Amino acid sequence: MADNHGNTPAAWTAVGVAMLGFLVGGIALMLTPVNMVLFWIGIALGVVSFPLFLVMARLGFHTEHH
């Protein structure tokens, strides 16, 4: 585990993608009628953010030197 408390490009990218997923899903739920395709795209973005973090961490973007 890194000593940088998540202040790395890998962490910021994963959080950004997850937040985008929540935003897309939330907007989809506010539409009338609810847009389920857009909602599931938001869910997919949220789920993809964790594997994205793991891949970026393996590539070396989870260090304080970037």
pLDDT of residue 52: 97
pLDDT of residue 63: 81
pLDDT of residue 3: 62
Mean pLDDT per 10-residue segment, the chain (66 residues): 73 96 97 96 98 95 74
CB 35 within 8 A of CB 28: yes
